[in-house]
Amino acid sequence: MRAILAVGDTTVHSFTVTREKTVPFLYPESPEFQAIPEVFATGYMVGLMEWACILSLKPALEEGEGSLGTLIEVTHEAPTLPGQTVTVEATVASVDGRKVLWNVIARDELDIIGRGRIGRAVVVWDRFKAGLDKKAERLTPLSG
Catalytic residues: 42, 50, 76
Nearest of 97, 91, 108 to residue 52 by alpha carbon: 91
Can you tell me the distance from the alpha carbon of 96 to that of 8, in angstroms, rounded to the nearest whole number? Answer: 14
Whether residue 102 contacts residue 71, with contact meaning beta carbons closer than 8 Å, is answered with: no
Angle at 120 between CA 47 and CA 24, to 5 degrees: 15
Annotated binding residue at 120?
yes
DSSP assignment letter at 2: -
At a CB cut-off of 8 Å and minimum separation 6, what does 107 contact? 86, 87, 113
Indicate the annotated binding residues for substrate. Answer: 69, 120
Indicate the annotated binding residues. Answer: 69, 120
